Structure 1
Amino acid sequence: MSTPSRLKAPLILVLSLVLLCAGVAVLVGVFGLLVTVLGKL
């Protein structure tokens, strides 16, 4: 671990991509749940 700065940028990029995908998945799940709930009304 002599060059932590060289590993930090890709790590932050990967983490932000994972968080973005998780946020999109949560939004899609909530939207789908709302559609199913409103569809049964």
Structure 2
Amino acid sequence: MSTPSRLKGPLILLLSLVLLCAGVAVLVGVFGLLVKLLGLG
């Protein structure tokens, strides 16, 4: 039961977009934590 090649493109695009958003969220969270720890915020 493999996905049709017609759907594979948008699926990979959506997955990479979700991963990108998750990565950005993690980076922003870590940066905010660092700022708090350093007492700049």
TM-score of Structure 1 vs Structure 2, range by shorter chain: 0.7 to 0.9
Q: Quote the RMSD (CA, aligned, Å).
A: 1.8
Q: What is the letter of the counterpart of residue 39 of structure 2? A: G
Name stretches of at least 5 consecutive residues in structure 2 with no aligned partner. Answer: none
Task: Report the count of equivalent residues.
Answer: 39
Aligned residue runs from structure 1 range 1-41, under 5 A: 4-39=4-39
TM-score, with structure 2 as normaliser: 0.86
Find the aligned partners of 2:32 and 2:4 in 1 and give their Cα distance: 41
Percent identity, aligned pairs only? Answer: 87
Structure number with the bigger relative contact order (C-alpha 8 A, sep ≥ 6) is 2
Shift of residue 10 of structure 1? 0.3
Shift of residue 20 of structure 1? 0.2
Name stretches of at least 5 consecutive residues in structure 1 with no aligned partner. Answer: none
Bigger fraction of residues in helix: 1
TM-score, with structure 1 as normaliser: 0.86
